[in-house]
Structure 1
Amino acid sequence: MRLAPLLLALAFALPACALHAQTRIPDAAVDKAGQLREQALASDLGWKITESLTTEVGPRLAGTEADARAVAWAKAKFAELGYDKVWTEPVTFPKWERRSESAEVLGEHAQPLVLTALGGSPGGTVEGEVVRFADLDALKAAPEGSLAGKIAFVDYQMKRQRDGGDYRNGGGVRWGGPSLAIRKGAKAFLMRSAGTDKSRAAHTGNTGFEDGLEPIPSAALSTIDADQLARLVALGPTRVRVALDCGFDGEYTSQNVIGEITGSERPDEVVLLAGHLDSWDLGTGAIDDAAGIAITMATGALLKPLQPKRSIRVVAFANEEQGLWGGRAYAEKHASEVAKHVISAESDFGAGRIYGFDSSAREGEKAAFDKIAAALAPLGIEAMPGEGSPESDIGPMTRQGMAWAWLGHDGTHYFDLHHNAEDTLDKVDPEALAQNVAAYTVFTWLAAQAEGDFGSAPKAADAED
């Protein structure tokens, strides 16, 4: 009779981690993962799906007629691939349109410039002297009012990195530059494209304006035209005319398209995979993010015959490009189901070979993390604890407590193509794409078969990430 109180006292004395039953991945599942890896490497399903979306739909700017066709395509493709359930969930957002855009240098050195409007920019035709800044900090340092009647030009050159880390700076110019320029008095904003290429393909991407500021026409020059404008400004005062016909036009309701393979033993527990269905309008969105849609759709289809224990849910998110609208809508709708989302992974960084694996479960579920990492190693993937993070659309749900995994793509050349007209099917390497599918298939299978969880649990909205 004294044993029970003793055990209770001992339980309170032990650290919490000692009471937690470690997640276990059965040996049979690990053995099957090896077979799945080879099967996926030999499959061209990922390529066929990428080809289908980029060919049959093409560019898929959120809110356009092509957006609706992409939704219909995704529903049909999930059904064709044999998913057990296919449904949609509405996503409503402001509709931004691009109609036309041009720019030219005026005066003695008159010539055209290649640019593209930033998403969210208003339209308008503006003429003014260009003032060049080497980076965002230089623009911040400009005296208030010093750009009155002028055009701000931020000429930051992104650095090529495997993890794409310098996008925080290149993208930061796009996100923060227009509002800064307004505060300094500018009547238009130009930037060197947030890209690592040398071409005349300008890179678009979303921007925004701080509350209380009157938006100004904002655009990105191709990297070659940015070089040209910088040389012209160095010669002396340079005037440019920028003409943008674009802007918001009401609201639009698109759809998150969801396909699910029903779990054979724990159907209410979900391994969530994702990509985003929309793209910018300049290319056909092959690496951003038709490849991600294909990788995740193919993973579910390849695993269905094995009847995984947990359900595999693949979400083709709406309008990621203009503000994570689909990801935020999903997180709001499924906020009460965080614990049921056992773990998640998203492919939204191109189709380069996956080189790294990380997870929010790397410490609490170390044994399971190590087994998944070992199964991925033959694909040239290294366990990189602390290096990864959840990708775009699953971010809102992970902030609510959903566990995540990171399968890190080699992004060395990703920003050559990001958001520009060169993002087309021919840039996708079929062998690298197959390696991506193999990595996702191995990870998803082991997560679906694992005994125990990966730490998904609701947390307060204001909790630290």
Structure 2
Amino acid sequence: MKISSFRVLGLLLCSAVLPSAPVFAQAPPGSSDVASLRAQALGDTVAWDIVEGITTEVGPRPAASPKEALAREWAVAELKSLGFANVRSEPYTMKAWVRGEERAQVVAPFEQPLVIATLGNSGSTGPKGLDAEVVLFSDLAALTAAPDGSLKGKIAYVTHTMKANQDGSGYGPYGQVRRAGPNIAAKKGASAILIRSIGTDSHRVAHTGVTTFEPGVTPIPAAALSIPDADNIERMAKRGKPLRVHLLLTPKILENQPSGNVIAEVPGSDPDAGIIVVAGHLDSWDQGTGAVDDGAGIAIVAAAAKRIMDAGQPRRTIRILWAGAEEVGGDGARAYFARHSSEKHVLAMESDFGADRVWRVNFALPESAKAVQERISAALAPLGIVVGHDKAGDGADIEPLIASGVSGIDLGQEGTRYFDLHHTPDDTLDKIDPAQLAQNVAAWVTVLAVAANAQEPLR
């Protein structure tokens, strides 16, 4: 095994430790080995090569589709070429939602075409479409308050006031318009629903995303309008004349389709020290090429893990999880947990918020790891990363692990422009800044360099 210069320095400083021991286990907080890894990672190109490769050679990767299957093949080959151990695909089956045709047009009072995107799990209008009056609601609460049966034969339309912010926190409450709105409209008797896209841009592209219908509720056709088109129909409605839309959506569900997760590892020297999972998701929506969501995320975690691997064997095993089928409900996360829940996971982290710079770190560690938290915080400070006050554990691909009691660390990225791109045709490679992508890798390397080698228990 090649010994790097910072490892030699660590051995000289800690001559009582065997040469095969992980260097970072002995190094004091802020030591030159962690600083060296952090500085070197700011010039990282591996993450760029990964996200460039998957967007160029595979492109959009809808869950349980042939393109997601191609992405798994690509991923296994890529992770093996990077030198990771135990690289494999772990298959499962699921229902696959297929978009079909999507068209919409205002037919009265002012005939105009609309730019829409069908929502995942939407029902179908049938091949002829439907033509109906639109009933506007100012928010989800107004739709919820509508009397049962009052929307029979109508198309519901729901708007909202989501604004851009640094941490993306508006997505939780405003995203309910998409996640829950169609189910509520169906229960009110609506024939279909249109929503203002859950986004913060002003481009004429619509934001897709998954919606969920309760058992026993028949899915109705559901689509998002581009924000300029949403503004336009709201202006039309203010003219006081009935608003009618023709809507054509022809999605379908395919049963028992193959999906899967891709796993790779940096084996640790101490099996009893536990496993650190670093996750992102391999699937994407079908409109763009899945660069920001989540090609960047899988690239960041793999590039960081490779730098730790190349520096020498860590104490803890680092397991890369490139999960399948995140976008349609987290099937990959559940499949991973079902297969691996009996293993000793001590920490889980996820990158799934684009490629802009990391500005904040949050923790969910036990009191026994307080010193680890302090060392990580100090080592991240030179990257301009501050300590937040929220509890860590965010990310659909690690949600079952976190719910089971596994510790978490969140590296929060700048999110001001994320929802300009999220789930749209604009999610493409040109939106990624290589320097900010490398700063993410540097942040992840810093955390892993400390956490993977800490002597303190992490859980």
Q: TM-score, with normalisation over the residues of structure 1? A: 0.90
What are the equivalent positions in structure 2 for 1:273-312 lying under 5 Å apart?
273-305=278-310, 306-312=312-318
Q: Which residue of 2 aligns with 1:76?
A: 77
TM-superposed deviation, 1:389: 3.3
Superposed counterparts of 1:60-139, under 5 Å: 60-124=61-125, 125-139=129-143
Alpha-carbon distance in 1 for matches of 2:309, 2:330 = 29
User: Cα offset for 1:264?
Assistant: 2.9
Q: RMSD across aligned C-alpha pairs, in angstroms? A: 1.5
- Secondary structure, counterpart of 2:143 in structure 1: helix
Aligned to 1:320: 326
Taking the aligned partners of 1:82 and 1:177, their CA distance within structure 2 comes to 46
Q: CA deviation at 1:115?
A: 0.3
- One-letter code of the match for 1:343? L
Supply the distance in 1 between the matched residues of 2:46 and 2:331 (Cα, whole angstroms): 28
CA distance in 1, matches of 2:109, 2:454: 70
The residue correspondences of 1:242-281 to structure 2 (distance < 5 A) are: 242-266=247-271, 269-281=274-286
Which one-letter code corresponds to 1:225 in the other structure?
Answer: D
Counterpart amino acid of residue 400 in structure 2: P
CA distance in structure 1 between the aligned counterparts of 2:350 and 2:58, rounded to whole angstroms:
22
CA separation of 1:334/1:244 partners in 2, compared to 1, >3 Å: closer, same or farther? same
Question: Given the alignment, which residue of 172, 179, 184 partners 1:175?
Answer: 179
In the alignment, residue 27 of structure 1 is paired with which amino acid?
Answer: A
SS at match of 1:78: helix
Check the 8 A contact 1:204/1:220 in 2, yes or no.
Answer: yes
* Cα deviation digits, residues 343-386 of structure 1 (max 9, x gap): 11100111111111112116442111011110011011111133
CA contact (8 A) 1:29 1:449 kept: no
| Per-residue CA distance 1:210-229 (angstroms, 9 max, x = gap) | 12222110000000110111
Partner of 1:240: 245
In 2, the alpha carbon distance for the partners of 1:384 and 1:194 equals 26
Partner deviation per Cα, 1:265-322 (whole Å, 9 max, x = no partner): 4487211101000000000111100000000111111111222122111010000000
Asked if the contact 2:135/2:157 (under 8 Å) is kept, the reply is yes
8 Å contact kept, 1:170–1:195: no
- Offset of residue 85 of structure 1: 1.6
1:395 aligns with 2:395: no
Partner of 1:383 in structure 2? 387
What does 1:28-39 correspond to in 2, within 5 Å?
A: 30-31=30-31, 32-39=33-40
What corresponds to 1:20 in structure 2? Answer: none
**d(CA) in 1 for partners of 2:434, 2:276:** 26
Which piece of structure 1 moves more, 190-199 or 165-174? 165-174
Q: Structure 2: which amino acid aligns with 1:302?
A: R
Deviation at 1:331, TM superposition (A): 1.1
* Counterpart-to-counterpart distance in 1, 2:30 and 2:76: 32
**Residue 91 of structure 1 contacts residue 254 of structure 1 at CA under 8 Å; is this kept in 2?**
yes
How far does the alpha carbon of each residue in 1:110-150 deviate from its partner, in whole angstroms, 9 at most, with x for none? Answer: 11100010000122122111111110001111122221111
Describe the shift of the 1:126–1:364 C-alpha distance in structure 2 as closer, same or farther (beyond 3 A). farther
2:39 counterpart letter in structure 1: E
Structure 1: segments with no counterpart, 5+ residues:
1-23, 456-465
- Please give the alpha-carbon distance, in whole angstroms, between the structure 2 residues aligned to 1:307 and 1:364: 24
- Equivalent position SS for 1:300: helix
2 CA distance for matches of 1:91 and 1:255? 5
> Shift of residue 48 of structure 1?
1.1
Code of the residue aligned with 2:152 in structure 1: it is A
Number of residue equivalences: 430
Structure 2 equivalent of residue 330 of structure 1? 336
2:84 partner amino acid: Y
Q: Deviations over 1:376-434 (max 9, x none)?
A: 11011111133543212101111111111111111111100000000000101111100
Hey, what's the Cα distance between the residues in 1 that align with 2:273 and 2:252?
43
Amino acid at match of 1:256: N
Deviation per residue, 1:33-92 (Å, 9 max, x gap): 100001100121111111111111100001221111100011001001000220121232
Whole-Å separation in 2 of the counterparts to 1:342 and 1:180:
39
Letter in 2 for 1:65: P
Distance, in Å, in 2 between the alignment partners of 1:357 and 1:126 is: 48
Q: How does 1:417-456 map to 2 (within 5 A)?
A: 417-455=421-459
Q: Is the 8 A contact 1:155 1:191 kept in 2?
A: yes
* Aligned counterparts of 1:137 and 1:330: Cα–Cα separation in 2: 36
**Aligned counterparts of 2:438 and 2:455: Cα–Cα separation in 1:** 28
Q: Which position in structure 2 is the counterpart of 1:194?
A: 198
* Structure 2 Cα separation of the partners of residues 364 and 224 of structure 1: 52
Contact 2:348 2:401 in 1 (8 A): no
CA drift at 1:262: 1.3
Separation (CA, whole Å) in 2 of partners of 1:406 and 1:362? 15
- The residue number in structure 1 matching 2:43 is 42
